[in-house]
Amino acid sequence: MISSSQNSRIKLARALAGSPKEREAGQAFIAEGVRLVEEALAAGWPFRFVFHTDELRARGVELLKRIKQQKIETEEVQARLLASISDTETSQGILAVLEYQPIPMPQAVDFVLVLDAIREPGNLGTLLRTADAAGVQAVVLAPETVDAFAPKVVRAGMGAHFRLPIQSMDWPGIGRLVESMNLGVCLADMRGTACWKTDFRPPLALIIGGEAEGASEQARNVAKQTVRIPMQGKAESLNAAVAGSILKFEVVRQRKARG
């Protein structure tokens, strides 16, 4: 059992939990909790090792058995040490260190989500989760967006990281991508056309702007049209994750209606 905070693997996991630079340098990230580790295992994602405590419940114990059957290295650690890595209030007693190996971008897509300066980890994770649910084929992170593999984002994504291509690009790269794939580019904006009146059926890149300042000038330069969500009440705007989710499922609704 690992009982020292100076253990090299404990120090690695703590660094990966805290810093995008450490995640980039180590080419690894962490997934904490039974559900996320299950998702990573089911996806065949490459593991480095798994920490666990002796406080696992039945579902966690069964998961640990499956992990060992896959010949993935496991280490029992003291609960206090796992808690020192975790940013959750109550640890579920299991944490995996995973290889940073994003899924490649498909060669052909007709529904891409572009996220412009989304800085709140929970919002980014929710946008990834709903992108997965809505059948988005790839997610592109523009500059100023929070690290997609930060622990809070991974947790809020609820397994989307293991199914979705997630790529970081600068705006010239995004422009080349949408042009090469012949995608129309639609930007969420309060002054745009009502989403119910916008045709989302052709191949599409949907841009969602940041929470505080909205879409950047670079996003507006790439976009071909703007779209808004008509609101009936007195609220001036919606949370980025909520707005993005509504628009993604409007794309789904229109395309299902076509079928």
Q: Which CATH class is domain 111-258?
A: alpha beta
Domain extents for the chain?
Answer: 8-99, 111-258
Count other C-beta atoms under 10 Å from residue 9's C-beta. Answer: 15
Can 8-99 and 111-258 be said to share one CATH topology? no
Task: Indicate the pTM of the whole model.
Answer: 0.95
State the DSSP H helix or E strand holding residue 67, giving kind and residue range, or none if neither. Answer: helix 58-69
How confident is the prediction along the chain (259 residues), in pLDDT tens digits per residue? 999 999 999 999 999 999 999 999 999 999 999 999 999 999 999 999 999 999 999 999 999 999 999 999 999 999 999 999 988 878 899 999 999 999 999 999 999 999 999 999 999 999 999 999 999 999 999 999 999 999 999 999 999 999 999 999 999 999 999 999 999 999 999 899 999 999 999 999 999 998 777 889 999 999 999 999 999 888 877 899 999 999 999 999 999 986 6
Alpha-carbon distance values, 200 to 141, 163, 220, 248, 249 (Å): 21, 23, 18, 9, 10
- Going by CATH, does the domain composed of 8-99 fall within 3.30.1330.30? yes
Distance CA 107, CA 114 (A): 17
Distance CA 33, CA 46 (A): 17
